[in-house]
Amino acid sequence: MSAEIILSQVFNGLSLSSILLLIGLGLSITFGIMGVINFAHGEFLMIGAYTAYILQKVFVGQDGGTYFLFSLPLAFLVAGGIGFLLEKSLIRFLYGRPYESILATWGLSLILQQMARNIFGANNVEVTAPEWLRGGITLMEGLRLPYNRLFIMAIALLSVAGMYIYLYRSTGGRRMRAVMQNRDMSACMGIKTRSVDSLTFSIGCGLAGIAGSAVSLLGSIGPSTGQNYIIDAFMVVVLGGVGNLAGTIAGAVMIGIASPLFEFITTSSMGKVIVFALVIVFLQWKPSGLFALKTRSLD
């Protein structure tokens, strides 16, 4: 194996890590704070991807492709907004009932997929990358870093930085962490846990929306796009340990680096099997993931 192949595999691994990180981030905080296993998380990703598609339909060819930058915050707002409405109307009845939450959010995921099918048609649609995201930097012969993947890495880093600042440097974030660590005690201390919940869920969905508009650069988007990513996202969250940034990052990087490696030395199907098997083995050893948060709570 030559140097440029090894380097490009490392790059592919980091690129996959950044995608997994974007998707896992939102899932991790809703899972961690609210105890709701959100199977519809992938559909918020799909909503974000369609947001990018609509924006492209409206603005294509008008401003040299800067519209794509706006699709990111817009996808955050649209997916977050829909998440907010669903939290108020459905999810809040499921707190503390993980089994019902699996069924209900799975049903929700089917409903959202069918709605997308009715609105946008069963055919997949394509988001054309703007001119400045095509091509890539050629570092050496045979090693080329595509701009769109570098761009996705940058978005992932910005999202993580944003979440870090919010969680650890703001009042809202402190409340959120408090609720995560001990819901009843937080409520006693005067934190409105209900509004923390709906805000958390909206942010989680919004992050999935950003992930969606980012991955629209890599493949086509359709009503079932979210399904392609949801299992990987759960794997990241379970491996990393629920509800903390460091765990999600570690989980995403580990799976992101391992998948292309095993895929390269075996085949695509086999690579996936090996990664799954390793995660299962790992969880036997550390059942609560790499970074267990709730070690001192009694629930």
CA distances from 78 to 30, 111, 243 (A): 17, 17, 23
CA–CA gap between residue 203 and residue 214 (Å, rounded)? 17
The minimum distance between CB 278 and another protein, in angstroms, equals 17
Stretch that binds another protein, among 8-16, 36-44, 80-88, 195-203 (CB under 8 A): 8-16
What are the beta bridge partners of residue 146? Answer: 136
Residues 15-44 that bind another protein (CB under 8 A): 15-16
Asked whether position 140 contacts another protein by CB under 8 A, the answer is no
By CB under 8 A, name the one of 73, 96, 107, 135 that touches another protein. Answer: 135
Asked whether position 228 contacts another protein by CB under 8 A, the answer is yes
By CB under 8 A, name the one of 5, 154, 158, 185 that touches another protein. Answer: 5
The minimum distance between CB 281 and another protein, in angstroms, equals 22
By CB under 8 A, name the one of 66, 118, 124, 195 that touches another protein. Answer: 124
Asked whether position 138 contacts another protein by CB under 8 A, the answer is yes
By CB under 8 A, name the one of 3, 73, 98, 126 that touches another protein. Answer: 126
CA distances from 213 to 12, 103, 121, 201, 209 (A): 19, 27, 19, 19, 6
Asked whether position 272 contacts another protein by CB under 8 A, the answer is yes
Asked whether position 146 contacts another protein by CB under 8 A, the answer is yes
- CB closer to another protein, 195 vs 267: 267
The minimum distance between CB 148 and another protein, in angstroms, equals 6
Q: Is the distance from CB of 129 to CB of 60 less than 8 angstroms?
A: no
The minimum distance between CB 145 and another protein, in angstroms, equals 9
The minimum distance between CB 153 and another protein, in angstroms, equals 13
Interface ranges with another protein (CB under 8 A): 1-2, 4-5, 8-9, 12, 15-16, 122-126, 128, 134-136, 138, 142, 144, 146-149, 215, 218-220, 222, 224, 227-228, 259-260, 263-264, 267-269, 271-272
